[in-house]
Amino acid sequence: MAPHEPPLKQALRFALDVANGRHALSKLIPLVLWLADAVLCGLVIWKVPYTEIDWVAYMEQVAQFVAGERDYTKIEGGTGPLVYPAAHVYVYTGLYYLTDRGKNVLLAQQIFAVLYMATLAVVMLCYWKAKRRQWTMGSIAYSWGLGIKMSLLLSLPAVGIVLFLGRGFGGSLRLAWLMAQMQLVIALPFLAKNWQGYLGRAFELSRQFKFEWTVNWRMMGEELFVSKQFAMVLLVLHAVVLLIFVTSRWLQPADRSLVSLISPMLRGRSPFTPAEELGVSSRVTPDYIMTTILSANVVGFLFARSLHYQFYVYLAWATPYLLWKAWPYTPVVCLLWAVQEAAWNTFPSTDLSSTTVVNVLLITVVLVYFGTSKPVKSGERKKAKASKKNR
């Protein structure tokens, strides 16, 4: 710090040093932000009137499950049929009993506040590079999340590649089988009653979305929005962009082409020697994992035919990381984040807000693609060896 510097300038320099990680106090920023958010959650529950959205409908659906109904096609609530996988039913069954059959809304709000704060803590740890290589626990957590809401399918291609590169061919197959077993076990009561009904409702890929609730693509007009041609175009574009990311970005740790990897795997063999697997795994860093999975998610959002307001939870915390990773220029990051925030907080959505949502997603995808062109750096070899023990 320069001598005889004005107090205001000194304070500004100090604030910038703390904010940019150049001061010892910088490490306290996550904790301070977390505590501030906790206080805000308490104030919201205390002061903001409760707004009913789907709580009553979920409780009505769970009440039918508790009463013994196992046919998914017969479970309905005030907002319509049950359209979430089985883990959703089990989670809300627990809440059903904890909140006196859904009557204690205040307790439910407090439970969700605790869940929100726990999620925020995990997000902060990821930003801070938690460096956990618990492949089995991660696979279980992902599969359980997929059992709650099928939106997590958007990141499945990236999850599969991360597990393949991080755990090797055989290890990734075992983890894939574990995740499949989880889906089977949690759905078993419903599959036994009406397996077609369960799959059709819980993982309804052909669902007809309502134009009135969409956050994106409103500017296209209702006639085009509901058309099958538009849905097919989005699906094809989604597949093409995913393939581009897979071949030129997500397989960087392997340092191999997609074709050269697929050929031996089709014959049931690993494309790597044991020594090569260790080397590839060492390059599966926290930065690589976050960038790969979050970029798959934002690509999925870009080409999703309909996004609803609750989907913003998948995007709000991911966008700052992706933008900083792609182009660490503060004005651009802050501007795009603020514009995105304003667009998603416009209710009901308008042509302008929908256009903004889609364009910010497009800009994010393009920036991430060009901002991650350099190969990932090699990690520590001993960590890769230690990860082999985590099954």
Angle of helix 318-326 relative to helix 286-302, nearest 10 degrees, comes to: 110
| 182 and 262 co-located in one domain | no
Residue 3: the pLDDT is: 57
Residue 2: the pLDDT is: 53
- 384 and 278 in contact (C-beta within 8 Å)? yes
Instruction: Tell me the pLDDT tens digit for each residue of 226-267.
Output: 888 999 999 999 999 999 999 999 999 998 889 999 989 999
Question: Cα 84 vs. chain centroid, distance in angstroms?
Answer: 16
Instruction: Tell me the pLDDT tens digit for each residue of 141-187.
Output: 999 999 999 889 999 999 999 999 999 999 999 999 999 999 999 99
- 61 and 76 in contact (C-beta within 8 Å)? yes
* Confidence class for position 114, pLDDT limits 50, 70, 90: very high
Residue 208: the pLDDT is: 65
Kindly state the average pLDDT of the residues 353-369: 95
Q: How many C-beta atoms surround the C-beta of residue 11 within 10 A? A: 11
| 241 and 352 co-located in one domain | yes
For residue 348, whether the previous peptide bond is cis, meaning omega lies within 30 degrees of 0, is yes
Residue 380: the pLDDT is: 42
In a domain, 6, yes or no: no
| 247 and 166 co-located in one domain | no
The mean pLDDT of the chain is 89
| 102 and 224 co-located in one domain | no
In a domain, 286, yes or no: yes
CA distance 65 to 102: 14
State the pTM of this model: 0.87
Instruction: Work out the widest C-alpha separation in the chain, in whole angstroms.
Output: 79
| 196 and 232 co-located in one domain | no
Half-sphere exposure of 108 (CA within 13 A, CB side): 22
CA distance 232 to 215: 19
In a domain, 90, yes or no: yes
In a domain, 18, yes or no: no
What is the domain extent for residue 157? 26-207
In a domain, 110, yes or no: yes
- 353 and 346 in contact (C-beta within 8 Å)? yes
Instruction: Tell me the pLDDT tens digit for each residue of 5-64.
Output: 787 888 888 877 777 778 888 888 889 999 999 999 999 999 998 888 889 999 999 999
| 231 and 132 co-located in one domain | no
Residue 381: the pLDDT is: 41
| 215 and 338 co-located in one domain | yes
Residue 375: the pLDDT is: 61
CA distance 376 to 369: 14
Q: How many domains does the chain have?
A: 2
Residue 26: the pLDDT is: 80
CA distance 372 to 252: 10
Q: Which residues pair with 77 in a beta bridge?
A: 80
Kindly state the average pLDDT of the residues 288-293: 94
In a domain, 382, yes or no: no
Residue 212: pLDDT over 90: no
Residue 295: pLDDT over 70: yes
- 33: which residues sit within 8 A by CB, 6+ positions away? 124
| 307 and 187 co-located in one domain | no
In a domain, 12, yes or no: no
In a domain, 36, yes or no: yes
- 72 and 199 in contact (C-beta within 8 Å)? no
